[in-house]
């Protein structure tokens, strides 16, 4: 017969067994957990994505090799859409002046806005764009839609205080049924006065960013206001006070191909000449002045004609994996540039149709045309 005391004593006698089993399970689990932590510690961190990737330049006859594995930089730290159309930032115009000389065609202005009161702060980096919402309404009584403009200033702004943004705007004008039509937003921007408030959105765009590498080579192909992002790049590379601010010690080669209808239409010419004088080994500037110069066929001189003239030197640069090419301005120039690149590549035994997608994939071919 079991007495209550015997039952209790029997129960107590099992306690050491239960503790032993529990201890065994615990130590086995801890050992595994420790092993896992140690393994995790000794694992190498993931290779950091870099912007300049190795891309084999494909010769026409070269055997096809497996495409190189490319890790594109995510640019996660680049600001985008701080201000959207429903809640734009109202920036104040600081200055608005013509960039053209006597005898130039049309109207192209440099316009600067104050951003210092923006909260959150509207910061941006070189190569981005902002949206402008022109005042007034469209034909349907709705507010005008925003138009994008490439930023022409560095992140430090034209006055180096880091709280302005500048644009380079051509007024759109065309003839229709015998009448001159003025573009809505470009006319609004060319007409605004210092002190006026303007609705700004953005920044947007990650296509035209500069690489981080100080020894990168930067080839720029611009027509008209397509110079806007290039102006920001060149200031970042060569403008003394800007360089003090950005601590980016550019050591590569910059080559600007610039297309304008007349000499009087060349934009930021004095600055560019100063950069050449100060940095003759790092900056090359090639102009195509369409209505004053002729190409070999007797037609208007376009930047693609200049590209062909410089085919050998240009493709020597492109074969260097540190070279990036930026194209900005008229959409219409794209086929012409492609044709010129095809011919220029052929002269070097290269196939542009194969090479271009490789450069694009490697983040070295940057296009923003409109």
Instruction: Return the number of the residue (118 or 128) whose C-beta is nearest ligand FAD.
Output: 128
Distance of closest approach, residue 101 Cβ to ligand A2P, in angstroms: 12
Q: Which of 58, 118, 129, 150 is catalytic?
A: 150
Q: Which of 238, 283, 302, 365 binds ligand A2P (CB under 6 A)?
A: 302
The number of angstroms, rounded, from the C-alpha of 367 to the middle of its chain's C-alpha atoms is 9
Copy the structure tokens of residue 228. 């806007």
Who contacts 126 (Cβ-Cβ below 8 Å, separation ≥6)? Answer: 151, 154, 155, 209, 210, 229, 232, 233, 236
CA–CA separation, 277 and 300 (whole Å): 29
Which of ligand A2P, ligand FAD, none sits in contact with 185, Cβ below 5 to 8 A by type? ligand FAD
Copy the structure tokens of residue 295. 């190409």
Which of ligand A2P, ligand FAD, none sits in contact with 260, Cβ below 5 to 8 A by type? ligand A2P
Orientation angle between helical segments 269-278 and 227-238, nearest 10 degrees: 30
Instruction: Return the number of the residue (166 or 310) whose C-beta is nearest ligand FAD.
Output: 166
186 catalytic per annotation: no
Which of ligand FAD, ligand A2P, none sits in contact with 154, Cβ below 5 to 8 A by type? none
Which of ligand A2P, ligand FAD, none sits in contact with 118, Cβ below 5 to 8 A by type? none
185 catalytic per annotation: no
* C-alpha dist (Å) from residue 58 to 33, 63, 315, 335, 348: 50, 9, 12, 21, 11
Please report whether residue 229 would count as binding ligand A2P according to CB under 6 A: no
Instruction: Return the number of the residue (309 or 321) whose C-beta is nearest ligand A2P.
Output: 309
Task: Please give the full DSSP string across 124-144, using - where no structure is assigned.
Answer: --TT-EEEEE-SSB-TTSPBP
Q: Which of 83, 149, 233, 326 is catalytic?
A: 149
Instruction: Return the number of the residue (167 or 333) whose C-beta is nearest ligand A2P.
Output: 333
Task: Please give the full DSSP string across 213-273, using - where no structure is assigned.
Answer: -TT-EEEEEEEGGGHHHHHHHHHHHH-HHHHHHH-----S-EEEEEEESSGGG-SSHHHHH
CA–CA separation, 170 and 148 (whole Å): 13
Please report whether residue 343 would count as binding ligand A2P according to CB under 6 A: no
Instruction: Return the number of the residue (11 or 103) whose C-beta is nearest ligand A2P.
Output: 103
Please report whether residue 291 would count as binding ligand A2P according to CB under 6 A: yes
Distance of closest approach, residue 186 Cβ to ligand FAD, in angstroms: 3
Q: How many CB atoms lie within 10 A of CB 176?
A: 7
Please report whether residue 265 would count as binding ligand A2P according to CB under 6 A: yes
Which of ligand A2P, ligand FAD, none sits in contact with 50, Cβ below 5 to 8 A by type? none
Which of ligand A2P, ligand FAD, none sits in contact with 370, Cβ below 5 to 8 A by type? ligand FAD
Residues in region 161-190 near ligand A2P by CB under 6 A: 170
**Tokens 């007797």, residue?**
298
Instruction: Return the number of the residue (110 or 155) whose C-beta is nearest ligand A2P.
Output: 110
Under a CB-based contact definition with an 8 Å cutoff, are residues 127 and 212 in contact?
Answer: no
Residues that bind ligand FAD (CB under 6 A): 129, 147-150, 168-170, 172, 174, 176, 183-187, 225, 228, 368, 370
Distance of closest approach, residue 254 Cβ to ligand FAD, in angstroms: 19
Burial classification of residue 196, based on how many CB atoms lie within 10 Å of its CB (0-12 exposed, 13-18 middle, 19 or more buried): middle
The number of angstroms, rounded, from the C-alpha of 327 to the middle of its chain's C-alpha atoms is 11
Please report whether residue 157 would count as binding ligand A2P according to CB under 6 A: no
Instruction: Return the number of the residue (201 or 323) whose C-beta is nearest ligand FAD.
Output: 201
Closest CA to 216 of 256, 257, 253, 255: 253
CA–CA separation, 208 and 148 (whole Å): 14
Copy the structure tokens of residue 123. 């910061």
Residues that bind ligand A2P (CB under 6 A): 170, 223-224, 259-261, 265, 290-291, 300, 302-304, 330, 332-333, 336
Which of the residues are catalytic? 149-150, 328, 368, 370
């Amino acid at each position: 017969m079991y007495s209550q005391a015997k039952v209790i004593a029997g129960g107590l006698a099992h306690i050491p067994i239960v503790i032993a089993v529990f201890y065994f399970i615990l130590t086995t689990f801890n050992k595994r957990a420790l092993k896992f932590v140690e393994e995790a510690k000794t694992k190498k961190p993931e290779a950091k994505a870099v912007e300049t990737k190795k891309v084999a330049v494909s010769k026409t006859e070269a055997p096809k090799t497996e495409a190189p594995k490319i890790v594109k930089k995510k640019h996660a730290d680049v600001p985008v859409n701080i201000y959207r159309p429903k809640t734009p930032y109202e920036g104040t115009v600081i200055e608005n002046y013509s960039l053209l000389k006597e005898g130039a065609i049309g109207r192209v202005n440099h316009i600067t806005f104050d951003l210092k009161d923006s909260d959150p702060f509207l910061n941006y980096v070189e190569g981005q764009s902002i949206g402008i919402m022109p005042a007034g309404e469209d034909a349907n009584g709705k507010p005008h839609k925003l138009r994008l403009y490439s930023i022409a200033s560095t992140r430090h702004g034209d006055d180096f205080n880091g709280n302005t943004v500048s644009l380079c705007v051509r007024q759109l004008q065309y003839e229709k049924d015998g009448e001159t039509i003025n573009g809505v937003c470009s006319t609004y921007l060319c007409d605004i006065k210092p002190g006026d408030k303007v609705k700004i959105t953005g920044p947007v765009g990650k296509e035209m960013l500069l690489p981080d590498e100080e020894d990168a080579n930067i080839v720029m192909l611009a027509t008209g206001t397509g110079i806007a992002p290039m102006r920001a790049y060149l200031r970042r590379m060569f403008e003394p006070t800007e360089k003090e601010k950005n601590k980016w010690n550019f050591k590569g080669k910059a080559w600007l191909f610039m297309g304008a209808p007349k000499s009087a239409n060349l934009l930021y010419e004095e600055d560019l000449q100063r950069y050449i004088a100060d940095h003759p080994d790092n900056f090359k500037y090639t102009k195509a002045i369409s209505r004053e110069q002729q190409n070999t066929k007797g037609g208007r001189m376009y930047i693609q004609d200049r590209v062909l003239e410089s085919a050998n030197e240009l493709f020597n640069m492109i074969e260097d994996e540190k070279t990036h090419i930026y194209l900005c301005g008229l959409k219409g120039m794209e086929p012409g540039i492609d044709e010129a690149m095809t011919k220029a590549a052929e002269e070097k035994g290269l196939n542009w149709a194969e090479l271009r997608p490789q450069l694009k994939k490697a983040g070295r071919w940057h296009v923003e045309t409109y």
